[in-house]
Amino acid sequence: MATVGSFEAKTKFAELLARAERGEHITITRRGKPVAKITPIGAPTVEDGEAILARFKAARAKATLGAMNWKEMRDHGRKY
C-alpha cells in the first residue's frame, strides 16, 4: 500500500484516482499520521445484496415496540 502526504495528494489527485482504478490502495497522511485511504471500489455482486438483506432481516427480528403493538402506537398518537 502506497503512502502519500496530504499536499501531494491534493496536487496529484487525478493520478491517485487512476491508481485506485487499477486496484492500488493509497493511504493519505498529514504530518506523518494516516488520515484517509483511497481504495478501489468493485462492482457490487448479488452476494453483497443478499448479505445486506440478511443483516436487515436479522435487525428487524430483534426490534421490538415495547409493551404496545404498532396499531396501539398509531392510535395512541391519534387520541391526543
We report the CATH number of the domain holding residue 28 as 3.40.1620
Query: In sequence order, what are the beta bridge partners of 5?
Result: 29
Note the pLDDT of residue 74: 82
- Per-residue pLDDT of the chain (80 residues), as tens digits, is 899 999 999 999 999 999 998 889 999 999 999 999 999 888 677 788 889 999 999 998 888 877 878 888 788 777 65
pLDDT value, residue 32: 94
Tell me, yes or no, whether 30 and 7 share the same domain.
yes
**Shared domain check, 54 and 34:** no
The structural domain count of the chain equals 2
Helix (H, G, I), strand (E, B) or coil at 28: strand
HSE value, Cβ hemisphere, 13 Å, CA-based, for 77: 6
Are 9 and 30 contained in the same domain?
Answer: yes
Q: In whole angstroms, give the CA distance from residue 29 to residue 7.
A: 9
On whether both 33 and 53 belong to a single domain, the answer is: no
pLDDT for the residue 53: 93
Residue 20: which domain range? 2-38
Distance of alpha carbon 24 from alpha carbon 37, whole angstroms = 11
Predicted TM-score (pTM) of the model is 0.53
Residue 80: predicted pLDDT: 54
